Amino acid sequence: MLDADLIEKLKKIERLYAGATTPGEKDAAADAMARIQKRLAAMELVEKPIEYKFTLTDAWSKKLFNALLRRYGLRPYRYARQRRTTVMVRVPRLFVEETLWPEFLELSQVLKTYLDEMTERVIREGVHTNMEEEEVVSGDYLA
């Protein structure tokens, strides 16, 4: 997958969660983002934001999640002594359940697939072509 293909795929996911319905809306990433921000503002009027704690598995996921939060005008933070993979945010529950978390999961899967493909290609071309798993042997591994 090329970088441009990845970026376009990520924009398509954003438009999906923005609820774009017409071809014009589907082509306008700015409209999609504005639509989600408008939905968030409406939810904040109906439902008070609550503090959420997200524990992400790796640095890539955390960077993606923080970028997604900031794109929607949300302020990610963490408390002193919390792990670096922890992200706190105050946001309405409905927005997390209907938009933020599902969009993050989909974006994360696309990014993970891209990073896996790129890593395998670089290792295959730059280190060794054999990408097979290691051999499993019986015996005492502590010996």
- pLDDT attached to residue 120: 87
Reading phi first (left if > 0) and then psi (alpha if -120 to 50, else beta), residue 11 is in: alpha
Q: Which residues contact 104 (CB under 8 A, 6 or more apart)?
A: 64, 65, 68
Q: Quick one: pLDDT at residue 92?
A: 92
Cα 50 to chain centroid, rounded: 21
- For the chain (143 residues), the mean pLDDT of every run of 10, in chain order, is 68 66 57 73 82 94 94 93 95 91 92 88 85 84 67
The confidence score (pLDDT) of residue 17 equals: 62
